[in-house]
Amino acid sequence: MRFTFAIGAVVAIVACGVNVGRAQPAEAGMSPRSAGSAAKEAEVSSTLQDLERQVARHAATRPSISALETVQAAHQFATRTAGNDDVKWVQAFKGSLETAQALQRPTVLARVYPPLSARAAADEGMFMIEEVPAPPARLESALGRWDADPKYAHNARQLVNAYISSPSDLFITGGGTPDTGNKFPDCVVIGTADVAWCCSGTLIAPNVVVTAGHCEMAGCTRFVFVGQDTAHLESGKVFEVANHCHHPDYGTRGDFNDIAVLILKEDVTGVRPRALASTEMVDGTVYARVVGYGTTDPDGRDLATMGVRRYCDVPVRSAACSAEGDGAHFGCDPGSELVIGNTLGSSSCKGDSGGPIMIQDAASKAWFLAAVTSRSLPLLERRSGHLCGDGAINARVDRFKSWIQSVPGGHWNQPPPHP
């Protein structure tokens, strides 16, 4: 699970009322030591220390603003600015919210004199903003198209409205909230023969876990951990897998039909299997909840951040990949895949593969399994330029329900699960 926070190409920044000067071009590319000037090094060190003291003093007196208050302020600004135009509303909301979040952080410039500023910021525990390069030319068209999708904009606005109405029930900011309340114990993590945790999954019957086909094909099939954090296996239980298979059509048409079933050697007790969403529910959904154990690294490289169950709420961009042009635009399979976007950068990443995409019943407020996390959006749909954080393509479980229940060994004769 990943939250991407982009400010743009930053070389000088006003940090909580403290002005940080721009390095001269000749100085920006060299360290103080390579400049060969002890006096300059001492001057820079003194300047940074003075800056840190100013930031610390300002941070100590700055009133704390909650995430909800920040979202409410951005919502009010966007509504006054854009009115009923959803596309303009989302653009105004995102821009104002990112600005508000930036001003709430003690920041230090990271690219004026890298050796000194990085060390000083680390010593003070301060967040550093590094210069973000301009996006490649091939991404320029995507930057304009991403927020201009009317359906995405409508659904994102509805999600923000729902969050403001019930902030304790939805999570749209940050990097995905850890499931410390164990709200989704049916979301499990899957491991290889050498107990390397690699994918997520969902318990849908006492001994049946549904996950992604590419996870099964990669050998992520030996163990299933039912618990919140793989660093604390004693807090849950590890189950062995007796049998596994991926959909017979997976791999015949690219990444489509990306779904698999694991049959456990014994039933999971004390955890209620997740009920599957109906076709009508999925077709009409506006937003969804992503749950999984994936990395928080935007490029999916730092696998050390995997292993904690997290969740976040995201708008749906295409419920069935069925609108004209959806297949070509998103690279999804018409009729069998659901495409999610992001509200403030939260979405799935490596390790979330195979995990649940859930939707909520409006009447009961119960969460149902709608899809299985499959893959990232195509390159031109990634506004951030990273692998993760912009949305994902997911296999709808209602389209594969008959096949799932045909896999031998599943204990489907149990009473139907209740959400």
State pLDDT tens for residues 385-416.
666 667 788 999 999 999 999 999 999 876 55
Residue 272 near residue 417, CB atoms below 8 Å: yes
Cα Dmax for the chain: 79
**404 Cα distance to chain centroid:** 27
Helix pair angle (114-124, 38-61), 10° resolution: 30
User: Based on C-alpha coordinates, what's the Rg of the chain?
Assistant: 23
Instruction: Please count the other Cβ atoms lying within 10 Å of the Cβ belonging to residue 412.
Output: 15
Which of 4-13, 115-124, 160-169 ranks highest by mean pLDDT? 160-169
- Quick check: 237 pLDDT over 90? yes
* Average pLDDT of span 86-113: 67
Query: What is the C-alpha to C-alpha distance for residues 68 and 126, in angstroms, rounded to an integer?
Result: 23
Q: Kindly tell me if the per-residue pLDDT of 188 is higher than 90.
A: yes
Report the mean per-residue pLDDT for the chain.
76
* Cβ-based neighbour number of residue 400 at 10 Å: 23
Among 380, 355, 326, smallest CA distance to 152 is for 326
pLDDT, position 1: 65
Q: Is the dihedral of CA 66, 72, 78, 84 positive or negative?
A: positive
Given a cut of 60, is residue 67 above it in pLDDT?
Answer: yes
pLDDT tens digit sequence for 253-268: 888 999 999 999 999 9
Read off the pLDDT of residues 283-307 as tens digits, 9 standing for 90 and up: 999 999 999 988 776 666 666 677 8
User: For position 400, what pLDDT does the model report?
Assistant: 97
- Tell me which long-range contacts 69-74 makes (C-beta under 8 A, separation of at least 24): 70/97, 70/100, 70/101, 70/104, 70/173, 71/97, 71/160, 71/163, 71/164, 71/167, 71/172, 71/173, 72/164, 73/100, 74/100
Least confident of 38-47, 96-105, 130-139, 176-185: 130-139
Sorted by where each begins, the domain ranges of the chain are: 1-61+107-134, 187-273
Q: Is the pLDDT of residue 117 over 60?
A: no
Q: Which helix (H) or strand (E) holds 49?
A: helix 38-61
Q: What is the mean pLDDT of residues 163-173?
A: 74
Query: At a CB cut-off of 8 Å and minimum separation 6, what does 330 contact?
Result: 317, 318, 321, 339, 377, 378, 381, 393
Average pLDDT over residues 333-345: 83
Alpha-carbon gap, residue 131 to 133, rounded angstroms: 6
CA–CA dist 244, 258 (Å, integer): 14
Kindly indicate the confidence band of residue 178, based on its pLDDT and cuts at 50, 70 and 90. confident
Does pLDDT of 110 surpass 50?
no
Using the predicted structure, report yes or no on whether residue 272 has a pLDDT greater than 60.
yes
Please report, rounded to a whole number, the percentage of residues in the chain having pLDDT higher than 90: 40
Classified by CATH at the fold level, domain 187-273 comes out as: Thrombin, subunit H (2.40.10)
Query: Could you tell me if 97 and 78 are in contact, meaning their C-beta atoms sit under 8 angstroms apart?
Result: no
7 pLDDT higher than 70: no
CA distances from 189 to 230, 284, 358 (A): 8, 29, 16
pLDDT band with cut points at 50, 70 and 90 for residue 52:
low
The whole-number pLDDT of residue 54 equals: 60
Candidate from 116-120, 322-326, 353-357 with smallest mean pLDDT: 116-120
* 34-58 residues labelled b (16+ CB within 10 A) or e (exposed): eeeeeeebeebbebbeebbebbeee
Residue 44: band (very low, low, confident or very high) from pLDDT cuts 50, 70, 90 = low
For 23, residues 6+ apart whose C-beta sits below 8 A from its C-beta are 11, 111, 112, 113
359 close to 282: Cβ distance less than 8 angstroms: yes
Distance CA 269, CA 207 (A): 9
Token output for 178: 């850890």
pLDDT over 90 (residue 147)? no
Q: Can you tell me the distance from the alpha carbon of 198 to that of 7, in angstroms, rounded to the nearest whole number?
A: 32
32 pLDDT above the threshold of 50: no
Q: List the alpha helices (DSSP H) in 232-290.
A: 279-283
Please give the structure tokens belonging to residue 50: 């003075």
